[in-house]
Structure 1
């Protein structure tokens, strides 16, 4: 699918629209020390994944109740750490372009409601639709979150663009049948250096599409 044919954009939150990487890493660093897990094992597993999934992978020896408590502790560590949370480069630009083009958008995150809302607020971003891990039964890489967001926006998933900075998120987008855009050098249908590039791509595609339609009509 061409960029000009996209009818909605579904953004990941952490690392995509919101620069919270340092805060997330600090929380996992403390958690790893408390739960005696090597940090080198935790951080790759945690990126883009729900806390409970990361806990299950890194401490499979814990009982179900203990894993639930461990995941709650990790989220607790994130709630009040907003000292350097901000919008990512190009975030406001691309959201402005979507508004001008009349394209709906949503945020789909592996975070639960509370950290998602406080981080988005800290970054100055107010999504029209927010899907957190509490709204679904299976987190990324399962496609449920992106399918739910597409349904809420009333757009078929195959006409949505999923923008991600994590492999598990891109896997979820592909499984949903969406077109994908990857940040940080990740393999996707479109590779992005930052959101400024996506804003330019959307603007150019729609401008060229309008000119083409005008020529065809004439």
Structure 2
């Protein structure tokens, strides 16, 4: 399949960087402190803002402090953060005006994880603090497309989790699911599904980006 798009909007955790170990360690420490079953929480947390996940498990008066607690746990653990296959080469090949990142994480944490993985932070980085509604709401992708100056319908969203795929589709974008953190069966709503970004080739053209899949 060949796609001609104006820009690519990437998720970060699970799409650009492998941060699974650090994420799970933070949630394990957090759930142990709050008497929450870690497996139940992890089953609904991936791809969502921490505040939205915490809201499912703790009463409103406790949530703000709990988010700060989790943020501190995550910032203290940048071990094992590595780029996912083909990501470094792909980002290096893209004009900075043609890509953005849209994440459910906070800005400081995402910038540090990108740095730990040896990857560049984009000029357009939409984080949890920038939106009123997190994924699966499309607000983040709509904002990123607007900041780049392109219509969302002319963007390719690359995501590894169902909430992000749903958000990209709701924004009107074409969505490529990458099966790095979820099996392919969980990503079938995406327009295209690949195992890793090694399976795509992006060529810069006079009019934008040409993405070849498979």
Is this a same-fold pair by TM over 0.5? yes
| TM superposition score category, shorter chain reference | 0.7 to 0.9
Distance 1:81 1:73 in 2: 13
Deviation readout 1:35-89 (Å, 9 max, x if unpaired): 1111111111111110111011123xx1x23111112211111002111111111
Partner in structure 2 of residue 178 of structure 1: 173
Counterpart secondary structure, 1:5 = strand
1:50 is aligned to: 49
Aligned to 2:198: 196
The CA distance in 1 between the partners of 2:68 and 2:160, in whole Å, is 24
Q: TM-score, normalised by structure 2?
A: 0.87
Q: Distance in 1 between matches of 2:173 and 2:109?
A: 26
Structure 1 partner of 2:16: 17
Q: 1:189-213 CA distances to partner (integer Å, 9 max, x unpaired)?
A: 1111111112x2x34x96xxxxxxx
* TM-score normalised by length of structure 1: 0.86
Which of 130, 142, 156 in structure 2 is aligned with 1:147?
142
Give aligned pairs, total. 200
Residue of structure 1 equivalent to 2:132: 137
1:214 is matched with none
CA distance in 2, matches of 1:138, 1:72: 18
| More divergent stretch after superposition (15-24 vs 65-74) | 65-74
The structure in which a higher percent of residues are strand is: 2
The Cα offsets for residues 94-130 of structure 1, whole Å up to 9 and x where unpaired, read as: 223424xx87000110001111111111112221211
Q: Which has the higher helix share?
A: 1
Point out where structure 1 has 5 or more consecutive residues left out of the alignment. Answer: 207-218
Q: Secondary structure at the match of 1:58?
A: coil
Give the structure 1 partner of residue 210 of structure 2.
none
1:133-187: CA deviation from partner (whole Å, max 9, x where unpaired)? 1111111111000000000000100010000011000010011000000011222
